[in-house]
Amino acid sequence: MKEKRPVLPGEEVAEVEEFLPAEGTYEEDGKVFAALMGELELDHDERTAAVRPYNPMAELNPGEAVFCVVTDVRNCMAICEVVAVEGKERAVTGDTNGTIHISKLASDYTQDVGREMRPSDIIRAKVLQAKPSVQLTTASDHFGVIKALCRRCRAPMVRVERGLYCNNCERNETRKIADDYGDVNF
């Protein structure tokens, strides 16, 4: 049997002798307190007290599309910081550092990660694995770079027939470009 009611952070919700603290609660001096605003769930069968937030943070799950900023490029991988989950307004919680292995970068052979992604590129990727580490892929047309800056002058790049072009310094560059490059607002 579960008992539910709204609670505020710091509100005493139970005694440790009756209920153990679970997600969204903490114990102090033998009492269980709400750690956040939400709905208290007192589970009489399991003898736990948990608080479920009304507007939870976004968690990464396999199969979800995420937006990332490339922070580093190595020989065999790109390292990214996940900044948002596509379709969710809340910030991402948990581990937000992800990697894209060279074999998961594109559907065809990739020789050099640095030709496909550069630090500061904004990309859309698909989550392959969220735990124990975040593993991503950009191996489909919809995934890849959605915004890039010129390596020389840092001006925004525009999509042209064979890659990206800088109107400022007239430089051409290559990337693993998403099918909707330049049309994404997140």
Q: How many CB atoms lie within 10 A of CB 67?
A: 20
CATH architecture of 65-173: Beta Barrel (2.40)
Q: How many CB atoms lie within 10 A of CB 85?
A: 21
* pLDDT bucket at 186, cuts 50 / 70 / 90: low
CATH 2.40.50.100 occupies which residues in the chain? 2-53
Residues 6 or more apart whose CB falls under 8 angstroms from that of 96 comprise: 60, 81, 82, 83, 134
* pLDDT bucket at 90, cuts 50 / 70 / 90: confident
Q: DSSP readout, 101-142?
A: EGGGT-SS--S-HHHH--TT-EEEEEEEE-SSSEEEE--STT
- Tell me the whole-structure pTM to 2 decimals: 0.73
pLDDT 10s digits, 96-123: 899 999 999 988 888 889 889 999 999 9
**Per CATH, which fold does 2-53 belong to?**
OB fold (Dihydrolipoamide Acetyltransferase, E2P) (2.40.50)
Q: In three state form, how does the secondary structure of 54-99 look?
A: CCCCECCCCCCEEEEEEEEECCCEEEEEEEEECCCCCCECCCCEEE
CATH 2.40.50.140 occupies which residues in the chain? 65-173
pLDDT 10s digits, 27-80: 999 999 999 999 999 999 999 999 999 877 778 889 999 999 999 999 899 999
pLDDT 10s digits, 126-154: 999 998 999 999 999 999 999 999 989 99
Phi, psi of 53 (to 5 degrees): -65, 150
